[in-house]
């Protein structure tokens, strides 16, 4: 009864102060208490500057990040010792002496200098409000419709409001403090940082804090940074003294915060960070908060508003976000599901802007000097997963920082390929950092995986399929070719199987059943074969599209003919390794051998039904619950298996509340960030892509509509998502069938539609034969299992209707369900 009365009072407060639909806003995360820990704070970002907003009435904390504050300095971890050890390690692997091979690889092939540098926090800004410990009617939110945060509460009958944003256009963090009575804002503002030897100064009416990043593993920290604050106010007085900004009885206060470093690029740290920091602030100060907010919102919304998702309504949408997460698996809350999808898009816009750094393991949000896994770029899935939603959810511009990373590791990887392996082209192992190191790091369990370049190139290729940009393909073709040249030189014949294999390598980051069952190092893993198959076949296709006059494709075709096909093991599973070592009780978080199902398209219910069933068997053995990012991957895998109910079950597993006392397993923190644990942003991005994969797929010969729609989403709509070929799709469905479909074409061509229901509308023709559109393609799997009608029927798939539509660039075509 007491809880019910409190909610009635809160709703009265909402109505009294004119906050329209405060609780029921579909695009807000909101809470009725401040954040006590970091995983309850709310993330803001403009790509470069990140802020976590805690919302404590008495002492507000803004934990701050700048994307280039990394330990160490420009360096390469390539070394010649590996070249001597390589043939010995290979022979030990071929002899089945995996433990000995792993020990030698760890000592002689792994980096001899450093294992990559950590991404580091700047520090925090604190705003202290005397007498605000006793507050009522508390509310805070993150509005992902306009990328702002708000805090509201009452003290002694006065209503206080804070608005915070990380401005896209003006490149500062802006904080506005106000009250509903004049002269009520009194507070002190200061900065601090966990770095040693930082220096705080007062320069006129500005406060600065400067420092230098950490020295790690002998790599001297040389990234210099400076944060700077300046006040504006109406009424009352403001002073700046001893590194503290003080407001006294003002009507309204605004604080602008800038941060800059000396980073120019991965090999140049010569920028004037003091001048940059001052310039950001000096340009912002003449503008009022509303002007900065307006420009910020306008810029942000031109990306965010491209896509909308409606999965239905429910009464629980009025509850605080953390309560809804806690109850998601037990109650129907389609608006929370849609919010989670859009939150992933919000995060990508906020942490990956053109011209900046790509999203790292935590996006840009990190409160530590030495975060878990150093918040680096883990290239055996996590960094790529960050960008799964970029093209699909109409955020192609956000993909650009990752494309730039590919250009840069393709340069630094040339030295590593030559020095360590005497190979042409370039190589990238399982991890890199802001300095674009490309040598193997960490223990051999993960570090001996040399196939990061192939996965990066698959990401490059996918962007071409979505954009149909031939000029872009011309730019990335040399990168893809360089990656392929490395593997042509690096792969050797396995004397046991006779296949051409990548060795040493591993199936990230899993141990196999050879020898003592404790080793990861091996040869010819399924994932490596799948990745190289994609790399080589994509280059062959790109060569034809670009009309390149070269014999290079013959080299690729010869190598492909010598590589192992995917294999089905004794348990009916898709084998993870060349040898049938799989264990049905293995619940490892990585499902690397299922790369061929997603994000690749080598496994299909229509072309390779036996492999399709084997992949499904493997996924069942692996189990559902895992770390957060792994469950995000599995949402996509079950969507590709055309099982929407199972994909939705994984979303329920992911959207369960992780509390401060939970120590393992995945899920979602109160602030909706993914729990690995700890926080990893790839889980958010993986699930966002998974939503779209459940509603539309375009990876083989057609746009497949509602391929994995769960029963709970009987009716809904999605607008603005993109398919391969550059088609933009608006779709409504009722009773699990498409009711309205609008497709806008970016180029001329044939668009094939696949769906379980039927359509009517101008231009539709029954599909016949293979689709001639180059952007919808079915890969020809090497030595495919023959697709017989009986095999496909065993999968018990619904009967699909296929239509062809001749489309013209720039035109929108509308169809209706019968």
Give the 3-state secondary structure of residue 544: helix
Positive or negative CA dihedral for 394, 395, 397, 403? negative
One domain, residues 288 and 392: no
The per-residue pLDDT for 15 is 38
One domain, residues 282 and 428: no
For the beta carbon of residue 63, count every other beta carbon within 10 angstroms: 21
Phi-psi region for residue 725, left (φ > 0), alpha (ψ -120 to 50) or beta? left
What length is written for the chain? 818
CATH code for position 806: 2.60.40.1180
Positive or negative CA dihedral for 25, 26, 29, 33? positive
The per-residue pLDDT for 9 is 40
Last residue of some domain: 549, 567, 600?
Answer: 600
Q: Report yes or no on 227 lying in a domain.
A: yes
Cis (ω within 30 of 0) for the bond into 677?
yes
DSSP annotation of 357 reads P
Q: CA dist 751 to 448, 709, 729, 742, 770, Å? A: 42, 22, 12, 12, 12
Phi, psi for 217 (deg, rounded to 5): 50, 40
Contact 288, 310 (CB under 8 A): no
Contact 59, 129 (CB under 8 A): yes
Q: Report yes or no on 731 lying in a domain.
A: yes
CATH code for position 498: 1.50.10.10
Name the maximum alpha-carbon separation found in the chain. Answer: 83
DSSP annotation of 134 reads S
Q: Which element (helix H / strand E) includes 248?
A: strand 244-250
The per-residue pLDDT for 550 is 85
Q: Report yes or no on 339 lying in a domain.
A: no
Q: How many C-alpha atoms does 745 have within 13 Å on its Cβ side?
A: 17
Q: Report yes or no on 691 lying in a domain.
A: no
* CA-closest candidate to residue 311, choices 586, 39, 714, 587: 714
One domain, residues 298 and 393: no
The per-residue pLDDT for 4 is 40
Q: Report yes or no on 606 lying in a domain.
A: no
Phi, psi for 65 (deg, rounded to 5): -135, 150
CATH code for position 181: 2.70.98.50
* CA-closest candidate to residue 72, choices 98, 111, 39, 127: 111
Tens of pLDDT, residue by residue over 672-712, are 999 998 999 999 999 999 999 999 999 999 999 999 999 99
Q: Report yes or no on 749 lying in a domain.
A: yes
One domain, residues 270 and 399: no
State the total domains in the chain.
Answer: 3
Contact 284, 258 (CB under 8 A): yes
* CA-closest candidate to residue 427, choices 454, 460, 445: 454
Contact 585, 516 (CB under 8 A): no
What is the rounded distance in angstroms from the CA atom of residue 579 to the CA atom of residue 168? 52
One domain, residues 276 and 399: no
One domain, residues 46 and 169: yes
Q: Report yes or no on 478 lying in a domain.
A: yes
Contact 415, 467 (CB under 8 A): no
Q: What is the dihedral of CA 398, 400, 402, 404, to 10 degrees?
A: -160
Query: Residue ranges of the alpha helices (H) in 95-196?
Result: 98-108
Contact 688, 338 (CB under 8 A): no
What is the tally of helices (H) and strands (E) in the chain?
20, 33
Last residue of some domain: 580, 600, 620?
Answer: 600
One domain, residues 195 and 299: yes
Query: Residue ranges of the alpha helices (H) in 234-381?
Result: 273-284, 289-304, 321-327, 334-351
What is the rounded distance in angstroms from the CA atom of residue 630 to the CA atom of residue 607? 27
> Buried b / exposed e across 434-462, counting CB within 10 Å, b at 16+?
bbbbbbbbbebbbbbbbbbbbbbbbbbbb
Contact 127, 60 (CB under 8 A): yes
Give me the DSSP letters along 262-299.
S--BTTB----HHHHHHHHHHHHTTS-HHHHHHHHHHH
What is the rounded distance in angstroms from the CA atom of residue 204 to the CA atom of residue 5? 51
The contacts of residue 648 (CB under 8 Å, 6+ apart) are 694, 710, 712, 713
Contact 767, 755 (CB under 8 A): no
Q: Report yes or no on 440 lying in a domain.
A: yes
What is the rounded distance in angstroms from the CA atom of residue 173 to the CA atom of residue 641? 44
One domain, residues 545 and 447: yes
One domain, residues 563 and 431: yes
Give the 3-state secondary structure of residue 93: helix
* CA-closest candidate to residue 615, choices 624, 629, 607, 604: 604
The contacts of residue 35 (CB under 8 Å, 6+ apart) are 41, 42, 53, 54, 55, 56, 140, 670, 671
Contact 509, 445 (CB under 8 A): yes
Last residue of some domain: 251, 277, 305?
Answer: 305
Give me the DSSP letters along 545-611.
HHT---SHHHHHHHHHHTSPPP-B-TTSPBPSSSS----TT---S--GGGGGTTTS-S--TTT-HHH
For the beta carbon of residue 560, count every other beta carbon within 10 angstroms: 16
Output 148-151 pairs: Cβ under 8 A, ≥24 positions apart.
148/44, 148/293, 148/296, 148/297, 149/42, 149/44, 149/53, 149/55, 151/34, 151/53, 151/55, 151/57, 151/60
* CA-closest candidate to residue 392, choices 689, 745, 709, 753: 689
One domain, residues 300 and 403: no
Give the 3-state secondary structure of residue 323: helix
Contact 617, 302 (CB under 8 A): no
Domain hosting 452: range is 387-600
- pLDDT beneath 50: ranges in the chain: 1-24, 784
Give the 3-state secondary structure of residue 395: coil
Contact 208, 228 (CB under 8 A): yes
One domain, residues 432 and 573: yes
């Amino acid at each position: 009864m007491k809880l019910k009365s409190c909610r009635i009072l809160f709703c009265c407060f909402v109505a009294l102060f004119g906050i329209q639909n405060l609780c029921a806003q579909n695009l807000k995360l909101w809470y009725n208490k401040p954040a006590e820990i970091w995983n309850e704070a709310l993330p803001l970002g403009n790509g470069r500057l990140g802020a976590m907003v805690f919302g404590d009435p008495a002492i507000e904390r803004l934990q701050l990040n700048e994307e280039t504050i990394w330990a160490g300095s420009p360096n390469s971890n390539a070394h010649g010792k590996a070249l001597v050890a390589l043939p010995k390690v290979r022979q030990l692997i071929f002899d089945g002496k995996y433990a000995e091979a792993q020990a030698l690889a760890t000592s002689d092939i792994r980096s001899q200098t450093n294992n990559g540098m950590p991404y580091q926090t700047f520090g925090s800004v604190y705003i202290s409000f005397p007498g605000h410990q006793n507050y009522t009617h508390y509310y805070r939110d993150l509005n992902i419709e306009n990328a702002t945060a708000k805090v509201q509460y009452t003290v002694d009958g006065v209503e206080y409001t804070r608005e915070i944003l990380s401005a896209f256009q003006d490149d500062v963090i802006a904080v506005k403090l106000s009250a509903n009575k004049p002269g009520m804002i009194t507070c002190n503002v200061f900065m601090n940082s966990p770095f040693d030897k930082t220096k705080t100064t007062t320069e006129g009416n500005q406060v600065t804090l400067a420092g230098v990043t950490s020295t790690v593993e002998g790599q001297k920290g040389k990234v210099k940074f400076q944060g700077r604050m300046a006040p504006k106010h109406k009424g009352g007085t403001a002073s700046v003294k001893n590194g503290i900004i003080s407001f006294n009885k003002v009507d309204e206060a605004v604080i602008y915060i800038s941060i800059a470093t000396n980073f120019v690029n991965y090999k140049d740290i010569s920028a004037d960070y003091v001048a940059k920091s001052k310039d950001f602030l000096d340009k912002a100060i003449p503008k009022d908060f509303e002007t900065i907010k307006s420009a910020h919102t306008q810029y942000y919304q031109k990306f965010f508003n491209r896509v909308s998702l409606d999965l239905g309504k429910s009464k629980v949408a009025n509850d605080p976000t953390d309560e809804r997460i806690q109850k998601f698996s037990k109650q129907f809350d389609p608006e929370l599901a849609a919010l989670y999808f859009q939150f992933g898009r919000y995060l990508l816009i906020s942490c990956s802007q053109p011209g900046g750094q790509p999203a790292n393991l935590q996006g840009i949000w990190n409160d530590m000097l030495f975060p878990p896994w150093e918040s680096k770029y883990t290239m055996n899935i996590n960094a790529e997963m960050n960008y799964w939603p970029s093209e699909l959810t109409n955020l192609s511009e956000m993909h650009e920082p990752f494309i730039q990373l590919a250009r840069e590791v393709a340069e630094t990887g040339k030295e590593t390929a030559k020095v360590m392996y005497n190979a042409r082209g370039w190589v990238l192992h399982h991890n890199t950092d802001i300095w674009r190191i490309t040598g193997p790091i960490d223990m051999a369990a993960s570090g001996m995986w040399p196939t990061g370049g192939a996965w990066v190139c698959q990401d490059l290729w996918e962007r071409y399929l979505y954009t149909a940009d031939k000029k872009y393909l011309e730019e990335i073709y040399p990168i893809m070719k360089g990656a392929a040249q490395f593997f042509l030189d690096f792969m050797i014949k396995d004397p046991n199987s006779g296949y051409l294999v990548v060795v040493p390598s591993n199936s990230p980051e899993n141990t196999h059943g050879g020898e003592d069952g404790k080793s990861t190092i091996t040869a010819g893993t399924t994932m490596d074969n799948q990745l190289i198959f994609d790399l080589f076949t994509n280059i062959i296709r790109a060569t034809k599209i670009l009309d390149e006059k070269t014999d290079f494709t013959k080299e690729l075709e010869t190598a492909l003919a010598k590589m192992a096909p995917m294999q089905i093991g004794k348990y009916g599973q898709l084998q993870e390794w060349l040898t049938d070592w799989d264990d049905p009780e293995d619940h490892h978080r990585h499902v690397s051998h299922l790369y061929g199902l997603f994000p690749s398209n080598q496994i299909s219910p229509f072309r390779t039904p036996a492999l399709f069933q084997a992949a499904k068997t493997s996924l069942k053995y692996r189990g559902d619950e895992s770390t957060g990012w792994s469950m995000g991957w599995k949402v996509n895998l079950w969507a590709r298996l055309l099982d929407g109910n199972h994909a939705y079950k994984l979303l329920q597993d992911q959207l369960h509340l992780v509390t401060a006392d939970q120590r393992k397993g995945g899920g979602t923190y109160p602030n909706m960030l993914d729990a690995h644990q700890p926080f990893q942003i790839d889980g958010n991005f993986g699930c966002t892509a998974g939503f779209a994969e459940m509603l539309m797929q375009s990876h083989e010969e057609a746009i497949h509509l509602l391929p994995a729609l769960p029963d709970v989403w009987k009716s809904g709509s999605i607008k603005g998502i993109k398919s391969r070929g550059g088609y933009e799709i608006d779709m409504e469905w009722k009773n699990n069938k498409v009711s309205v479909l609008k497709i806008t074409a970016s180029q001329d061509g044939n668009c094939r539609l696949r769906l379980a229901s039927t359509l009517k509308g101008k231009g539709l023709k029954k599909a016949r034969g293979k689709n001639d559109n180059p952007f919808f393609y079915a890969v020809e799997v090497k030595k495919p299992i023959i697709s017989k009608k009986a095999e496909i029927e065993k999968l018990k798939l619904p009967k699909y209707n296929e239509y062809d539509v001749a489309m013209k660039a720039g035109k929108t075509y509308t169809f209706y369900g019968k």
